[in-house]
Structure 1
């Protein structure tokens, strides 16, 4: 009967499976390979060819054995591998049925900065999102220098997200991650090459959104909250758009892309000349440039300095202000017109200038004295004093044009009022 281990440190938040296995093995004076082969692999079952691959995929039997020995639920153990984030982080770990379909579905199905029709077509077979390998065909780890230097033996946990090139900073300390190679028992970097540059604010915001998505499954964007799968695809599509050769872009899109790279402080396309190269196959320094350029692009879109024309671009700008409905029925245009007439009539009943102005408007197209007197009579019937109104059409015309009279009205009428 399999029993639970008496000592088993709990996995850290977002910790990679191999990181946790190394800490478990350290407790019992073993290395990671010994723990996996002799205590977590069922009798007769083949042991994993390489423990480095366990962050990508772990056999179900190994996950079950870990759950039994530590009391950690199998679902939580599964989430410590990349396979546990399918189909959120990537669509599948299985070989694609048709060459190029995985890349097309993940990267070209939507767009961010430019329209989908402006995307130059290219085929990338046997591709998996965010999963790079270095020249030795081993995953490149990234570590936080502050976490490494402040941790004691057996407490340092490597987050899974730091094992793939999707973030630049540590979620706890906000400092840049450094590339590190080697097993968990020994890792490091050349102190002379340690990256001490502070991370720009837009990079920290971008990484915080990624961390939020992995923690709660959703990401808050300016327009609305989206599923973490949408966020990963938006970010990877944006990186692809930043890699398009400038000569293949229309003038408007080219200017936006050039501005992004200039603001990010890097050469366009991270210095790549010629055809587009796949992000996952780039060395870490160039991947850093692309992640910084992506963060800069998101910042410029949200600030309104560039326009995101793609299908996902609207998510990066706030919802436009719309006046709230106060619950009252909509006003009728005729009601507003009647109110305006009543206000004008009230003014004409007490102000000679307003009365004369009203008569002038109503008779502006009048050509006969009879029509003029009819309109004048209607205004008098509406309680506008007769003395406020010019007596004849001729008088109306002469009062408008004759200079020297106060307010263009006869002195007699001014005196009477």
Structure 2
């Protein structure tokens, strides 16, 4: 059997580029439609090419692309939204019966500004279905004016989601991609790029760090990217809540956040709706308020009571440098090696993950402490669906 031959021209994808963008650039080199590139030229004449190549394209096509271009299959998968399970999405496609439980698990089981359980019980699918975290109801087609001028850059995948407001590399706001591309094509001057202001720029830097390194360095401590995405989504939910029904501390905190943001309270919302259902201008106002809240908590101006609040609070304390390490393997080192082995297994085995959580939470007496252990496992790469809740483990003893 003859080995698969590489295509003669196959430029590498740029950082965080979408699959559709990269395929457009490849097809342009060969002067053919993308559909022909993905069927006849991959030896997959019957391949069903989806309209949205960035969502969840067929694995057969990705495998063949990896063989023809030398780009690793894992990287090609990460150029699609499906490739960001479970870090950005627990599941990309949410069955209708799982919509509310998914929202509760991703958003409401966490807390930042407000005390655990204070966010309320708003239902997400009463009038129209919630598509899942970050999957906006209003489609976004955006580009950075500076990136668009470079034909080797392509389009960034996650700019299509209401997750970022600007281009971190160049520091400019994202603009309508059609207008930007037309300006580049015609070679006109057009409007000057607009710098992205704070605190939106800080939120984007955290998100970009998570997307590119897998971790985010917050004022309190470094967290896994998946924890950051859920923290931010929880914060966006909290700042969207009405003041009625909150504790006196909750009301005062939310009022202070919106006043510091300099925007209308709740961005003018009179009826609660999930972030994904909001119009883009309202989403940006919510991101602005969330970024303001991050600053206020880090500075100590606002005291946050949520489970994830400690990740945002700056702590100043001396840390002992430690004794000179022994050349012999210590019991602690052996324990750490056993723990790492358990984590490796838990990342691929649901039962092993369950047993590890049970072991880690044996001494937990409060729900907050239990949730910290769950967050730890998620933060070190154990899939979210492998980590049961306290209720699922029957831990009715937690307070």
For normalisation by structure 1, the TM-score amounts to 0.69
Matches within 5 A, 1:4-403: 4-40=6-42, 42-48=44-50, 50=51, 53-96=52-95, 98-125=98-125, 126-134=130-138, 139-148=139-148, 150-151=149-150, 154-180=151-177, 197-273=194-270, 275-321=271-317
Whether the 8 Å CA contact 1:112–1:313 is kept in 2: the answer is: yes
Alignment gaps of 5+ in structure 2: 324-399
Whether the 8 Å CA contact 1:55–1:80 is kept in 2: the answer is: yes
Alignment gaps of 5+ in structure 1: 328-417
Distance, in Å, in 2 between the alignment partners of 1:66 and 1:183 is 29
Aligned residues: 314
Query: What SS does structure 2 have at the residue aligned with 1:55?
Result: coil
Whether the 8 Å CA contact 2:145–2:174 is kept in 1: the answer is: yes
Higher RCO (CA-CA < 8 Å; seq separation 6+) = 2
Whether the 8 Å CA contact 2:35–2:49 is kept in 1: the answer is: no
Whether the 8 Å CA contact 1:178–1:194 is kept in 2: the answer is: no
Which stretches of structure 1, 4 residues or longer, exceed 4 Å deviation after superposition?
A: 181-188, 191-197, 322-327
Distance, in Å, in 2 between the alignment partners of 1:308 and 1:198 is 30
Query: What SS does structure 2 have at the residue aligned with 1:219?
Result: strand
Distance, in Å, in 2 between the alignment partners of 1:171 and 1:183 is 17
> Which shows bigger deviation, 175-184 or 308-317?
175-184
Distance, in Å, in 2 between the alignment partners of 1:31 and 1:284 is 32
The Cα offsets for residues 158-211 of structure 1, whole Å up to 9 and x where unpaired, read as 1112121111110211111113359989999xx999696532233222211111
Distance, in Å, in 2 between the alignment partners of 1:281 and 1:195 is 31
For normalisation by structure 2, the TM-score amounts to 0.72
> Which shows bigger deviation, 300-309 or 260-269?
260-269
Rg: which structure is higher?
1
Deviation at residue 45 of structure 1 after TM alignment: 3.4
